[in-house]
Amino acid sequence: MDSNTLFNNIKKKKSFLCIGLDSDIEKIPAVLHGEKDPVFRFNKEIIDATHEYAVAYKPNIAFYESRGADGWISLENTVDYIKSQYPDIFLIADAKRGDIGNTSRMYAKTFFERLDFDAITVAPYMGEDSVSPFLEYPDKWVILLALTSNSGANDFQFSVDREDQTRLFEKVLQISSGWGTENNMMYVVGATKAEMLRDIRKIIPGHFLLVPGIGAQGGSLEDVAEYGINNKCGLIVNSSRGIIFADSSDKFAQKAGEEAKIVKDKMAAILLQNQIL
């Protein structure tokens, strides 16, 4: 999927919501525990109830890996279901991978060939040759960590370089934006650091940003939009637990749909206000 198609989907759905499928088997409603593949069943019901409010889904690979081979089957079923039923969805593997070239190439094969994800989150520490194998796939994206939403972001990401006076997350943006284009690279910027989006937009005015951290992590959608939106929206804002685990009764999917609609309505207002709709 290219950035124009993504932008058109955002306009069509009046939403830039990504729903994080952090589908912890220990948190899914009891009513599903008798199913053959309870995690896939949970995802399917969540997706059916929320897809009209979302442009993207983001399975968090850790929650699938933790169940070994069974988890990978749940993940494959989820990817296949989304791709066959809702082909306009932008599908992100939240995997935070990144290794030497021949190993990143294997990760790319996993997430872009075996599983038909549109994008994968990648950690920048190992530099260009750990990222470039993912960029060799047409219409597939790298979403590189820039400024993360967690408290540990303060440990290294704000370290100021002596030569060029940039903070590490700015250096990551400056250098890595030359590795790809606005059509195959996005960046992770945490909603808990919304005021930083102004500085980030000076470096990468046109790139899409994947913004986690609203909801359970405490970030504000309005702040993110104020500082981060551009004329092609340029934002995909994620919510995971606040939507998928909004309710644990047998009405979990309906409640997830209601929560997603609340976020989508706020997003539609923001898009209108910024003359994008």
Residues classed as catalytic = 96
Residue from 85, 88, 125, 272 touching a copy of itself (CB under 8 A): that is: 125
Which long-range contacts link 22-28 to residues 24+ away (Cβ below 8 Å)? 22/60, 22/63, 22/240, 22/241, 22/244, 23/59, 23/60, 23/63, 23/64, 23/74, 23/244, 24/63, 25/63, 25/67, 27/245, 27/248
Cβ at position 60, least distance to a copy of itself in Å:
6
- 247 belongs to the binding site for a copy of itself (CB under 8 A): no
273 is a site residue for a copy of itself (CB under 8 A): no
Least separation in angstroms between residue 199's CB and a copy of itself is: 17
Q: Name which of 146, 232, 150, 233 is nearest 185 in CA terms.
A: 146
55 phi/psi in degrees, rounded to 5: -100, -15
**φ/ψ of residue 95, rounded to 5:** -125, -20
Per rule CB under 8 A, is residue 110 in the interface with a copy of itself?
yes
159 is a contact residue toward a copy of itself (CB under 8 A): yes
Pick one of 156, 202, 205, 222: the residue that binds a copy of itself (CB under 8 A).
156
Cα distance between the two ends of the chain: 21
Strand-pair partners of 210? 188, 236
Asked if 107 is part of the footprint of a copy of itself (rule: CB under 8 A), the reply reads: yes
153 is a site residue for a copy of itself (CB under 8 A):
yes
Amino acid letter for position 30: A
Rank residues 161 and 265 by Cβ distance to a copy of itself and give the closer one: 161
Is residue 154 involved in binding a copy of itself (CB under 8 A)?
yes
The contacts of residue 171 (CB under 8 Å, 6+ apart) are 161, 164
Closer CB to a copy of itself, residue 8 or residue 217? 217
Footprint (CB under 8 A) of a copy of itself, residues 167-206 = 168, 171-172, 175-176
Residue 98 lies near a copy of itself (rule: CB under 8 A): yes
- Quick one: which of 1, 10, 14, 22 contacts a copy of itself (CB under 8 A)? 22
Can you tell me which of 76, 116, 199, 258 binds a copy of itself, judged by CB under 8 A? 76
Give the whole-angstrom CA distance, residue 143 versus residue 150: 17
